[in-house]
Amino acid sequence: MQNGKDVNVLFKKQVMAGAFIHSQGWGLFFRKANILSIYRKRFWEIETASMHNPKEHKSQNTLYPDASSYYFGKLNAIQILRFGFGYYQTLFRKNNERCVEIDAVTAIGPSLAIAKPVYLEILPSNAGDALPITAKYDPNTDTPANIYGRASFLDGLGEVNFYPGAYARAGLNFDYANRHNLIKAIEVGAEFDIYPKAIPIMAFIPNNQYFLNVYLSFSLGKRWF
């Protein structure tokens, strides 16, 4: 093998890491695979992703030009953790360094939604010149008129709730690295998360217990014996 160009060498392991965007947020991931044959790999993966509701829209108190923007009606900020197992099935093999290898990717595993309550800067009812107070958003009492802006993301970290569930994904991975022992890949596909009950992201509208997203990822990695 010269500089990873020999396609007849069968590597045993590979790792890759990268970032992705999906229909309702973005995330980071890591995968490690055992290469079973030139056409099949088995991997485990771990990833984290933000999850937003399509109805989220930024608001700002126009009476205070310096006020920070916030999402009116948002109850919780959601972060998803996934840990799963899957397979690459090679559809088109990289025959030389100018080729692109195309793999079908499938994976399944547990998913955990972490919900952190949204805290805002609230103007007291008899505000006058009083400073805003930091409080958890209450959809029953807080309106655009008395919300000054968003509070620190750190507020509410001690009140997170956990929602265990499961996920599955299917996609196509395009590896265009110019060395057989290196990985430069773009992946496109769909992922589906499901939970036993609805995840409370927004007030005033129904919340879902399942999330179907399309995604696009970019990753770097390497293979070895």
Q: For 140-182, write each residue's pLDDT tens digit.
A: 999 998 999 999 999 999 999 999 999 999 999 999 999 989 9
State the chain's mean pLDDT as an integer. 93
pLDDT of 187 over the 50 cut: yes
Compute the distance between CA of residue 122 and CA of residue 144 in angstroms, rounded to an integer.
10
CA-based nearest residue to 188, from 173, 176, 177:
173
* Predicted confidence (pLDDT) per residue in 60-75, tens digit: 998 888 899 999 999 9
Q: Are 134 and 147 in contact (CB under 8 A)?
A: no
Domains of the chain: 13-224 (2.40.160.20)
Q: Look at residue 3 in the predicted model and tell me its pLDDT.
A: 47
* Predicted confidence (pLDDT) per residue in 13-31, tens digit: 999 999 999 999 999 999 9
Q: What element of type H or E holds 149?
A: strand 147-150
The per-residue DSSP string of 33-102 comes to EEEEETTEEEEEEEEEEEE--TT--EE--TT-TTPPPEETTB-EEEEEEEEEEEEEEEEE---STTS-EE
Q: Look at residue 8 in the predicted model and tell me its pLDDT.
A: 58
| Backbone region of residue 8 per phi and psi (left: phi > 0; alpha: psi in -120 to 50; beta: other values) | alpha
